[in-house]
Structure 1
Amino acid sequence: MNVPPRPLLPPGPYLLCDDTVLPDMPLVAKAERLLAGGARVVQLRMKRTPIREALEAARAVVALCRSAGAVCLLNDRVDLALLSDAHGVHVGDEDLPARDARVLLGPGRLVGVTVRDELGAREALEAGADYVGVGPVFGTTTKAVPAPVLGLEGLARVVRGSPLPVVGIGGVGLSNVASVAATGVHGAAVVSDALLAQDIAERVRLLAGAFERGRVGG
């Protein structure tokens, strides 16, 4: 059986559709606004949503992303990624190991892994990952992270030593995304700065423009 090649991870802002940020807004509505702003990567992170509701939300958000030509990844949940036909998963320190996620997902989907340094990035490559999330770049209140803040210099060091594309995570927003992009990262994960904006779609557009300016040194 021919397996289609897994999609490439688009560069630029990597937007999280999170059930802990702006919890009164449905996940589908958040995804619609992110996509309306031109989001090319959406990670669906559901830490509080009951499993049946989570599956329903995953299927709806994945369908929206596919219709918009965006990549949709599920945080942690390989089962939901498979059932919703997501493009892949992102696993963290306490989630299913990347090697096992790759076995379950097969060769046709993306696997991202949270790491803290260059060694972690090399181990992620050996485990079958396609990219790594590296952080925290800055302090963040969205998620408790038991790891020291890297800062821009630390992030740039990991980018230089990583064999995989790097997505900077932790405390990234419009005020600093250009500086994050200037480190050479492939992407920059944004959560609260986008979802708590008065106009989510407009904030996504501004983030994309700032990332591109930082990437090219403008």
Structure 2
Amino acid sequence: MNASLRPLLPPGPYLLCDDTVRPDMPLVAKAERLLAGGARVVQLRMKRTPVREALEVARQVVQLCRRAGAVCLLNDRVDLALLSDAHGVHVGDEDVPPEAARSLLGPGRLVGVTVRGVEGAIAAREAGADYVGVGPVFGTTTKQVPAPVLGVEGLARVVKGSPLPVVGIGGVGLDNMPWVAATGVHGAAVVSDALLAQDIAERVRLLASAFEQGRVGG
């Protein structure tokens, strides 16, 4: 598999299937609901799931995503991405370095990296990343992040200066999705706003519509 066969990251809402949000619902069930709403990107984040169970979950979620024509990325776990045949990984500040992730995954899979600004985005490109997650855009309770909140103006500055597609992360939901999309971001990561909705699939549809409205209006 070479770089020419590497999947493209679809624009729009970037949905996280997370085991810390709504833990009463199995991860596979969450993925099914996200995909039923038309999710085009699903990042599987498993911070509490035991390794053997995580591998089985990853394989099931990847299969679901592939059948739905969606991209599936594993948070941090390069090993699980390879074993489950995921489309790639997303690594953060304390995860496997992007250079190592690219080396292990080869040229045919996606590598995303969390950064805090334009300098980080430039370094991520040099390390072989395909896109960057930038944030926190807003305050978030899903994950403790030791970095200042950017706001939409700060996000727009990073989007303008980044050599890679930008996914806005941190506190993004239906209410602020149009503002985020108007910055010119490639995507917007959503966790709690989708998974805590009474109807997850409908929420995903609304998020996609709000992103499109913001992008057109912006």
TM-score for the superposition, normalised by structure 1: 0.98
Aligned residue in 1 for 2:83: 83
Q: Deviations over 1:38-72 (max 9, x none)?
A: 00000000000000000000000000000000000
Alignment of 1:93-108 (within 5 A): 93-108=93-108
Whole-angstrom CA distance in 1 between matches of 2:213 and 2:4: 34
| Residues 105-145 of structure 1: CA deviation (Å, up to 9, x unaligned) | 00000000000000000000000000000000000000000
Which structure 2 segments of 5+ residues have no match? none
1:163, CA displacement in angstroms?
0.2
**Structure 1 counterpart of 2:41:** 41
Cα distance, 1:161 vs structure 2? 0.2
Pairwise CA distance, 1:154: 0.3
The number of aligned residues is 218
| Cα distance in 2, alignment partners of residues 91 and 132 from structure 1 | 10
- CA separation of 1:2/1:164 partners in 2, compared to 1, >3 Å: closer, same or farther? closer
Q: Residue type of the partner of 2:151?
A: G
Q: Distance in 1 between the 2:143 and 2:5 partners? A: 33
Q: Report if aligned partners of 2:2, 2:107 keep a CA contact under 8 Å in 1.
A: no
Partner of 1:198 in structure 2?
198
Q: Which amino acid aligns with 1:187?
A: G
- Letter of the structure 2 residue corresponding to residue 193 of structure 1: D
1:71 corresponds to which residue?
71
Query: Which position in structure 2 is the counterpart of 1:53?
Result: 53
> Is 2:120 aligned against 1:120?
yes
Tell me what 1:147 maps to: 147
| Residue identity in the other structure for 1:183 | T
Report the alpha carbon displacement of residue 4 of structure 1 after superposing the two structures with TM. Answer: 5.9
- Secondary structure of the 1:66 match is helix
TM-score between the two structures when normalised by the length of structure 2: 0.98
Q: Which amino acid aligns with 2:118?
A: E
Q: What CA distance in whole angstroms lies between the structure 1 residues aligned with 2:180 and 2:96?
A: 28
CA distance in 1, matches of 2:88, 2:113: 11
Identity %: 87
Where 1:24 maps in the other structure, the secondary structure is coil
Please give the per-residue CA displacement for 1:80-124, whole angstroms capped at 9, x wherever unaligned: 000000000000000000000000000000000000000000000
Letter in 2 for 1:79: D
Quickly say closer, same or farther: Cα 1:2–1:166, change in 2 above 3 A: closer
RMSD over aligned CA atoms reads: 1.0
Quote how far apart the aligned CAs of 1:2 are: 6.3
Partner of 1:164 in structure 2? 164
* Other structure's SS at 2:121 match: helix
Is the alpha carbon distance of 1:103 and 1:2 closer, same or farther for their aligned partners in structure 2, counting shifts above 3 Å? closer
Q: Supply the distance in 2 between the matched residues of 1:29 and 1:179 (Cα, whole angstroms).
A: 30
What does 1:127-146 align with in structure 2 at a 5 Å threshold?
127-146=127-146
Q: How far is 1:5 from its partner?
A: 1.0
- Counterpart Cα distance in 2 of 1:100 and 1:123: 14
CA contact (8 A) 2:2 2:106 kept: no
